[in-house]
Structures are given as structure tokens and as C-alpha cells.
Chains A and B, each alone.
Chain A
Amino acid sequence: MNKYLDKTIIELNQLLKEKKITPLDLVLEAFARIEKEHELNAFITLNKEEALKEAKKLETMEVDNLLFGLPIAIKDNILTKNLRTTCASHMLDNFIPIYDATVVEKIKEKHMIIIGKTNMDEFAMGSSSRTSYFGAPRNPWNKQKIAGGSSGGSATTVAARLLPLALGSDTGGSIRQPASYCGIVGMKPTYGRISRYGLVAFASSLDQIGPMTRNVYENALFLNSLVGKDEKDLTSSKKEREDFTRKIGQEIKGMKFAIPNYFMSDIVTEEIRDRIKEVIQLLEKKGATVDYIDIAYLENAVTLYQIIAMGEASSNLARFDGIRYGHSKENPKDIDDLYYGSREEGFGEEVKRRIMVGSYILSGDNAKKYYDKALSIRSDIRTSFLKAFEKYDLIIGPTTTTTAYDLTDPMDDPLKTFLDDVLVIPVNMAGLPGLNVPVAFSKDHMPIGLHIIGKPFDEATIYQLASFIEKELNLDLNPKGSDENE
């Protein structure tokens, strides 16, 4: 098999420009890799026919940008015109979108080639991708372990080197946490940075689409192509486009970083804390300062998340009524039977539970008791972060409290899935950008990630630090590569 897809994007661009390879070579290699690694269960739907057609079409075109002709995977909660989009739910397992999400339009404008739709937790509700109607994706570092979630299929795809680029979405860590478990780079940009138009809504005030890649530079490059004001998403930012790669390669001497004490408390395994401390020592050695600080209400962030995310989800998922699209109960007795029956049959357990809790939270006096209060404390968390950023360039810590656990670990605790994301949720609460970069491996050779949090719209500085660390550590992040070296 060819090994073009192990090359960097810059190398591939050069080969494409020189006509030494064609987009078709890359697409064929991509499908061969996916086929060979089918047991990873990374994809729900493949787009083979269209992808081959598109690749042939591109052969006659000029290579006009760095992402031209590259194969890409899209998380299955982002709408792709005429390509099935299921949200990993029985509710949508026959749903064919009639329009593209704004990010998908942008991807097509750059002539990237959509290879398929990646596996995920049902409606992005989960932290292990095990709530998928299509079965869980597997972690390429150890196939008996979870890939994380909810963007587990996208993380697996990139980590296993099936494709160089994937899109994920992050409501409470769903890009960064699987990125950490799978040893890749995943960015949740600032809220509003990327249009959410065409992202199937989970919790609208938290959701954000973001890039998942093999390394930091390619992540920044990919983000360049995804951002911009969109008339169709009124929360999308008016901020000018910028080059997110511009600080990559700069020194970190004199920079100031902070670690919230809570992020290094005993909720995190000792092994992960030790590896993060080694990164801190490296940063200090290179002339940066690292202080321990307190951020208000971090220990309450999971509760706030449960209230806000489930409340918003119950409202967003009210649209699934069995009438306009999605699963519909056969031969309903009456309109209520149609509503109740379609939702009973169409939604999985985790989704049902969250809709029920969310509906309860927003009903009657509960809205004030829970939801309004959560929004107030949410405001305090954001204020506390912004205050810290008056003094510090970036906030850092571990991305996850453990490494990826076994696929067979029990799923009977309804709170476990939230606790997996305890370190990444506060970033969505505050609407900040956050990124995972791999920094170490555990004793059983599972990836450990560093979480880097930036000021609103300061993704460029996050990439600066992430690329600095990546270069210093120079880890072998190819699960296959490691085997070959042994």
C-alpha cells in the first residue's frame, strides 16, 4: 500500500502541485486504510462514490491552496448535502440532509474531499462514544479501549492515520477529551469562531465545531479555512480572518502560564499529574513562569453543565416528533402515540435520560431554581477566567483525569460520563478556546494530553505553546509507527 497519507500536508501539497500524485491516489489510499482498519468502527457512512468522482474532477484543476485534494472526515452530527447524517441515532438513521453546514461549504470551497461521516455518541451525548447506535469506535492504541467521546470516530480516524483531517464538535469536551485519549491535536475554538449552521444542535450556548489533526501546525492551518462570520448563525463572530499559524515557531521565554489548583487535585491520577509536572518543568526551564491559581466555581462546573446542557438539549431535541423527519412510529393510534412512540423507539437510553432531566429542569419553578442560577454562576466562572487572563497568557492543565479506559467498563452510573469531562467542561462554560496536545504516554502506553486554554479569540497563542511543546517532546504519535520501530 502507498504511504502518502503518512506525509505532512505541506509534503502532500508539494506532490500534488508537481503532479507526482493526484487527489485520486489519496482517496484510494484513504479507503484502503479504512477498509484495512474497519474493526476500529470509526465511520458510520462512507462517501466512496462521490469522493472518487470529486477526486477525478480535481485532476484537471489547479492546486490553489494547501488543503486542496486532501481527504477529510466529518463528524456525523454536521450536515452534508445528499450524504446520510445520523447523529449516531436510530432517530436519524435514514436522514439525508438537503443542505450543507456552513463549515462543509467551506471545506468544499477549498476542494477537500469528504470521505465519510464519523462515529460518535448518540446526538453527541456521552464521553466514550459507546452510546452510538452503530456500536463504539475503538482506540487505535489499544483496541480494547474507548476512543473517548463524543467525537470518538473522528479522533480514531486521525490517530490511526486513516485520514489527516477530521471535524469534531465540542459541547463539554467532545473534541479535546477523545483527542487526549487517542493522542492527537484537537481544538475547540472560541464560542462564535466557527458557524454552527448545520451542526445538529445539542446545547446551543456551548456547542462549537473544531479541527482534529495529527499535529499542531496542521490544526492551525485547518482552522484558518473554517472560521468567519456567517449570516446564518447569529452567534458567529464578526472577527476578521487571521492566520492561526503565525505564532508557531516563536519562543516562549517570558510567557506567563497559570494552572488552576483544581486541575492538579486528586481527581486526576498521580501518573497524569506527574507527566504534567514534567511539562511544567520544561516550560520553566525554557524561560516561562508557571503559577498555581484559583478559578471560581470550577468544582461546580459539572453541575452547571448538567443543568445548562440537558436543559438546552431537551428544548433542541423537541423537534424530533416523528412528523417532519427522522424515525416515525408505524401505524400510530393518534397524534400523541406518534410523538411518544417515535421518541421511545428513536432515541437511545442516554439521550432519553438527558431529555427527561432537561425537561424537568426547565419546567415551572425549576427553571428559576436550576437554570437561572446556573446561568449566574456560569457568568462568574467566565469573569474569573477573564480576570486570570489579565495576568497570564494561557491557562494549562491535564485534559483528562485518566487515560482511556476499557470498552467493557460498566455504563450503569449515569454520572460517570459527566465526570470524564470535568477538566474540559469549564472551557465551554466560559466560551473560551481550548486545545489538547499529546505530551506523554502512560505505563501501559496510552496517550496523555495537555489542555491549553486561551483568551477569547486568542487561538494563535494556544498554537504557539502547543507547537513549542510538540517540538520539544517529539513523541512518536503513530500507533503503527511504534510497532514498526520495535
Chain B
Amino acid sequence: MQEKLSISEVKHVAELAKIRISDNEQEKYQIELKKIFNELEKIEEVKDYDEEIIITPTEEKCQLRKDEIGQMVNPKDMLKNVPRHSGNYIEVPVVINE
């Protein structure tokens, strides 16, 4: 069994996760991620199982609350945790071509 992922596989996984990893971390992730992926493969060994799935482990039906106006967040409070804002607008870098 292959003992580590290729560098391009590591880059792909990091890309999916939107996490930047530095060049000197790559080798560590090649080995660590492979180790976990090998573990996940063990699920292949389970053959005889019922197709029925469980998403939330409860028999109670999830009930939506009534669509009514309730507790509202005050914009001034909300902006306290926003790293960059201008007035009531949250600032982000330009996302369209200038």
C-alpha cells in the first residue's frame, strides 16, 4: 500500500478545504492524510449492512418553527466582531475585475 499521497493530491485536498499549506508542510500532510485515508478505507470491509440511513439519531420528526419575526440581531452589535467594515457594510477585497 502506498505510504503517502502525492504532492498534487495534498494540494487538491487543501484546495477543497480552502486552507493554504506551506511547501514545508506538504510532506507532513502527504503522510498524515494518507494514514487517515487508509483508515477510512476500512469501511470497504463492511459488506453486509442495511441500506437505510440515519442522518439525525432520533425518531422525532424535526419541526420547523413558525415563520414569524422573532429575535433580531442589532447591526451595531453584529458589526462588533466583523474584522473590517465601513458603516453598516462589511468590507471584502474586490471580487470582480477592476
Query: Residues of A at under 8 Å CB distance from B?
Result: 94-96, 98-99, 190-192, 205, 231-232, 234-235, 237-238, 297, 300, 302-304, 306-307, 314, 318, 322-328, 332-335, 337-341, 343-344, 347, 352-353, 355-361, 363, 370, 372-380, 382-383, 413-415, 429-431, 456
Contacts and interface: CB of A to CB of B under 8 A. Distances in A.
B20 A360 contact: no
7 contacts: A94-B81, A300-B42, A334-B93, A334-B94, A343-B20, A413-B35, A415-B35
B56 interface: yes
B34 to A, nearest CB: 10
A235 B29 contact: no
Contacts, number: 170
A383 B43 CA distance: 18
Interface string B22-38: 00000001001101110
Contacts of B71: 99
Contacts of A191: 56-58
B92 A335 contact: yes
Given A234-B63, A318-B18, A326-B83, 18 more contacts: A300-B43, A303-B42, A324-B82, A325-B82, A328-B84, A332-B93, A352-B19, A353-B32, A355-B19, A356-B17, A356-B33, A358-B17, A359-B13, A359-B17, A373-B43, A376-B52, A377-B43, A429-B57
Contacts of B46: 297, 300, 373, 377
How many chain B residues sit at the interface, stated as a range, is 35 or more
A376 B47 CA distance: 11
Contacts of B39: 302-303, 306, 415
B54 A379 contact: yes
Contacts of B84: 328
Nearest to A338: B93
User: Among the interface residues A95, A318, A380, which one has the most CB atoms of the partner chain B within 10 A?
Assistant: A380
Interface in B33-69: 33, 35-37, 39-40, 42-43, 45-46, 49-60, 62-65
Contacts of A378: 53-54, 57
Contacts of A190: 58
A344 B19 contact: yes
Given A297-B46, A303-B43, A306-B40, A343 B58 contact: no
Contact of A360 (B16, B51, B77): B16
